[in-house]
């Protein structure tokens, strides 16, 4: 059974750095073709893809946020970590992690989401 | 690649046939998925590679298209289908989603 779960602070102050952890089970990020990504959704708005890390440590970022994002993986812990610097109230959103496989495969398994509010 | 869904919202009745369109700003083949999202829940994949039904998804959902125009069709709406639907492309980075189509009960 494949599961993913996001964890992180519910509240972040403006200018702070957000660290989100995705802990997964049921698959391995050492398996060829597997990737874990982050997607966010502001309240009442559409989904936005943020970043992705592949089994071979290739990393991809959304250019609109690339200067603020870092994605890393820890295969021994089955975790993927996303850091986002210089948080702003506009970054208030539910943050999801999700798995996909290389090719035309979608994000097939998603975490439940973690609502992050940016406020002083 | 910008994805534009139409309509943005849609009212329909149980049993209706519904079609949602996703238009891409540049053409590609197959690297498109459709998701369903109910309020407070994570998106759930329905269709990938433009037309392949994800395992476990009812056969009333179907997808088609290539190039710049893709469609999601629900052949006979069920009560549990009232939700928001998103398309997403995997053809090039950054991956992008459509703005969503909210389907509600007429």
Task: Test B48 with A60 for CB contact under 8 angstroms.
Answer: no
Q: Which of A37, A49, A104 sits opposite B31 (nearest CB)?
A: A104
Q: Is B73 exposed, middle or buried (0-12, 13-18, 19+ CB in 10 A)?
A: middle
Interface of A with B in 54-113 (CB under 8 A): 60-64, 96, 98, 100, 104-108, 110-113
Min Cα distance A97 → chain B (Å) is: 10
With contacts defined as CB-CB under 8 Å, which chain B residues touch A108?
45, 48, 54
Among residues 55-84 of chain B, which lie with CB inside 8 Å of chain A?
none
CA–CA separation, B65 vs A85, rounded Å? 39
Q: At A91, list the tokens.
A: 């970054």
- Give the list of residues 6+ apart from residue A4 with CB closer than 8 angstroms, or none: A22, A23, A24, A36, A97, A98, A99, A109, A110, A111
pLDDT per position in chain A (120 positions), as tens? 999 999 999 999 999 999 999 999 999 999 999 999 999 999 999 999 999 999 999 999 999 999 999 999 999 999 999 999 999 999 999 999 999 998 889 999 999 999 999 999
pLDDT tens track for A78-109 = 999 999 999 999 999 999 999 999 888 999 99
What span, in angstroms and rounded, lies between the C-alpha atoms of B92 and B88? 11
Whole-number Å distance between alpha carbons of A108 and A101: 9
């Amino acid at each position: 059974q494949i599961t993913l779960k996001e964890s992180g602070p519910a509240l972040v102050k403006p200018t702070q750095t957000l660290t989100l952890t995705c802990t997964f089970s049921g698959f391995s990020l050492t398996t060829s073709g597997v990737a874990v990504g982050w997607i966010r959704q502001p309240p009442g708005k559409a989904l936005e893809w943020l970043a992705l890390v592949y089994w071979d440590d290739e990393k991809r970022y959304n250019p609109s946020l690339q200067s603020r994002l870092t994605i890393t993986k820890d295969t021994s812990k089955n975790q993927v970590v996303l850091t986002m610097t210089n948080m702003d109230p506009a970054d208030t959103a539910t943050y999801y992690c999700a798995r996909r496989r290389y090719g035309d495969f979608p994000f097939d398994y998603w975490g439940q989401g973690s609502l992050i509010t940016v406020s002083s | 690649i910008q994805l534009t869904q139409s309509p943005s919202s849609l009212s329909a009745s149980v049993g209706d046939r519904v079609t949602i369109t996703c238009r891409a700003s540049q053409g590609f083949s197959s690297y498109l998925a459709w998701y369903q999202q109910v309020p407070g829940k994570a998106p759930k994949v329905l269709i990938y590679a433009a037309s392949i039904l994800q395992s476990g998804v009812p056969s009333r959902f179907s997808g088609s298209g290539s190039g710049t125009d893709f469609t999601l069709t629900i052949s006979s709406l069920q009560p549990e289908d009232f939700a928001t639907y998103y398309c997403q492309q995997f053809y090039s980075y950054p991956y992008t989603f459509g703005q969503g189509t909210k389907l509600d009960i007429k």
